Amino acid sequence: MTAFQQQLETIVAEAGISERYQITYKSVFGAIAAYADERIFLICGKFGMAAKLPGETCQTLMDKGIGAPLKYFEKGHVKRNYVVLRDDLLKNTNRMRELLGESAAFVQNANGKS
């Protein structure tokens, strides 16, 4: 198990997401992705930890300075509907529980397919 997967498992456990969804982990683009019922909702890599969320939620988190756009590579494109979560936010267990619940639910609908 990699350090990235350990980080994901810890945050997913704290959020209680596995009570509602089957959670699995796979390697993607040099990072580890967490899947809720076979759909990516959270990724951890050298860039940090990023959640897949509705565009307006991503923008709000970025506007508040607690999120940043996700790029897998420095010169790569910005991944739509993903936001890299800042440490302040990652340490807020209640807010992370809300965001991960929103993320897992978001990827279950047609617009949130990974």
- Per the prediction, the chain carries an average pLDDT of 91
pTM: 0.89
70, 85 Cβ separation under 8 angstroms = no
pLDDT at 113 over 70: no
CATH of 3-108, one of 3.30.1460.30, 3.30.420.40, 3.40.50.300, 3.30.1300.10: 3.30.1460.30
Domain ranges of the chain: 3-108
Q: Rounded to 5 degrees, what are φ and ψ at 24?
A: -130, 165
User: DSSP of the chain, one letter per residue?
Assistant: --HHHHHHHHHHHHHTGGGTS-EEEEEETTEEEEEETTEEEEEEETTEEEEE--HHHHHHHHHTTSEEE--SSTTSPPPTTEEEEPHHHHT-HHHHHHHHHHHHHHHHSGGG--
pLDDT at 14 over 80: yes
